[in-house]
Structure 1
Amino acid sequence: MHRMKIKRIIDISGTISDRTTLWPGDEGVTLDRIQNIESGDSCNLSVLRMGTHTSTHVDAPLHFVAGGADTASVNLNKFIGFAKVFNLSTQDCIKASDLYPLNINVGDIVLFKTKNSFLDMNGLFHKGFVYLDESAARFLADKKVATVGIDYLSVESFYADNAVTHKLLLQNEIGIIEGLRLKDVQEGEYFLSCVPLKIEGADGSPVRAVLVEFD
């Protein structure tokens, strides 16, 4: 049996800490050490508290679809498999017209690298991040892609009031990955691993997202 040799693993996750950039109104990250070797305990043991949409994360359909799948029941095929990274770093908003020339097909996992990847994700929230408008979401739904990923905390504009981009994707069973870090990633095809935690009733989950290159 032929085995592919891993050439490189690229971490495309944000670091989670008490400095992590949060969506306005979200609860901050706390990591409390409840047992400590330095205090005489037999081990270090911590309790982590944070929102389900902290840093690099997956949106489950339940986030915007009543009765939708939670992170314990989403189709993992949407978050592990070969993915296409597209460089759209000159756009302020991704529209369908930006996607027409791209090689996007049924079942694809598509990740969009934008100017967002060069923003600092530790500190101030940037309201003017690059996002997908309704036409882009509709185009991707019509294409029946598997998953859409973007390099800030939402696929949708901060100023949107109807969540139409989220709903178009999630109602069409398209996976959403938000908060990717693609600054050092070249356009091309990679193997993606980005599975959410198996949390019953959760509408989202932080993930450790990586891209793998093979020889």
Structure 2
Amino acid sequence: MRLIDLSRTITHKMPRLPNHPMISLSEFTTHAEKREVEGYVFSSAVMLLNMGDHSGTHVDAPRHFDERPGAKGIDEMPLENFFTEAVCLDLSHKPLKSDISVGDLEAAVEAAGVKIKPRDTVLLHMDHYRRTWGTEGYLTDFPGLTKESATWLGRHGITAFGVEAVSPGRPGRSNFEVHHVCRDMGFTHIEGLVNLDQLVGKGRFRFIGFPLKIAGGTGSPIRAVALLED
């Protein structure tokens, strides 16, 4: 058994979309601050985190992209949705700023020798993180799904798909269309993944990525992990 960490480290002022809150980490208390209780002297360290519910590696809840009454918040989503079988498709050959077509997905499935099953999580390795991390292009230059390719995934009855980028579709109309495909077909997506190259060619594995139980949350940071039975 082997665990592969698919999560980005949450850091102070880490890159995020400009319409999302800045991530702020600071010391709230340190070991330099001593306390005495009933003659016993001790100290404790505590960090203060200030960030939105779409910070770092995170999953979107239906409430994020579905304006209809009754759309579920992250605290209402079944835990089974975050502990699923999974496959990883290799799309690393796609140029930056390009669209991922239905044909691209079909070719990637054939090359991987896998079958997408109902309730799978499908991870899409686009080699975006390696190519753009540390540059302004990280927020804008990723390959992305289209309305048609997201619909193709949805027709397989998946629970979710995951990408390295900050959004599932290219910036602009395409990204909103992909979110609405998720709304209309009843699945969601994970953003900000890393280390997907380590899953290429591994066949089927287990995906684990439980969210925080945020009341009414529109999403949540997750500790995304792949469990491989080597």
Q: TM-score, normalised by structure 2?
A: 0.83
Letter in 2 for 1:55: G
Q: Deviations over 1:124-158 (max 9, x none)?
A: 34312111101111112222212111111111211
More helix, by proportion: 2
Identify which range, 112-121 or 148-157, moves more after superposition. 112-121
1:11-160 alignment, distance < 5 Å: 11-41=5-35, 42-66=43-67, 67=69, 68-91=71-94, 92-101=98-107, 102=109, 103-122=115-134, 124=136, 125-160=138-173
Following TM superposition, by how much is the alpha carbon of 1:162 offset from its aligned partner in structure 2, in angstroms?
7.0
Larger radius of gyration: 2
Asked if structure 2 preserves the Cα contact closer than 8 Å seen for 1:17 and 1:29, the reply is yes
Equivalent residue, structure 1, for 2:198 = 184
What count of residue pairs does the alignment treat as equivalent? 209
Following TM superposition, by how much is the alpha carbon of 1:21 offset from its aligned partner in structure 2, in angstroms?
1.7
Q: Deviations over 1:96-128 (max 9, x none)?
A: 122234232322211100021314545634312
Asked if structure 2 preserves the Cα contact closer than 8 Å seen for 1:83 and 1:190, the reply is yes
Please list every run of 5 or more consecutive structure 1 residues that lacks an aligned counterpart in the other structure: 1-5
SS of equivalent to 2:181: helix
Q: 1:143 and 1:128 mapped to 2: Cα distance?
A: 28
CA RMSD of aligned residues (A): 1.9
CA gap 1:95/1:123 in 2 versus in 1, 3 angstroms: same
Asked if structure 2 preserves the Cα contact closer than 8 Å seen for 1:29 and 1:50, the reply is yes
Asked if structure 2 preserves the Cα contact closer than 8 Å seen for 1:64 and 1:167, the reply is yes
Following TM superposition, by how much is the alpha carbon of 1:19 offset from its aligned partner in structure 2, in angstroms?
4.4
Asked if structure 1 preserves the Cα contact closer than 8 Å seen for 2:17 and 2:139, the reply is no
Which residue of the other structure, out of 192, 210, 214, is the alignment partner of 2:225? 210
Asked if structure 1 preserves the Cα contact closer than 8 Å seen for 2:168 and 2:175, the reply is no
CA gap 1:74/1:171 in 2 versus in 1, 3 angstroms: farther
Identify which range, 98-107 or 45-54, moves more after superposition. 98-107
Q: TM-score, normalised by structure 1?
A: 0.89
Please list every run of 5 or more consecutive structure 2 residues that lacks an aligned counterpart in the other structure: 36-42, 110-114
Q: 2:155 and 2:204 mapped to 1: Cα distance?
A: 22
Q: Identity over the aligned pairs, expressed in percent?
A: 28
CA gap 1:192/1:179 in 2 versus in 1, 3 angstroms: same
Q: 1:23 and 1:162 mapped to 2: Cα distance?
A: 13
Following TM superposition, by how much is the alpha carbon of 1:160 offset from its aligned partner in structure 2, in angstroms?
2.2
SS of equivalent to 2:204: strand
Identify which range, 186-195 or 146-155, moves more after superposition. 186-195
SS of equivalent to 1:39: coil
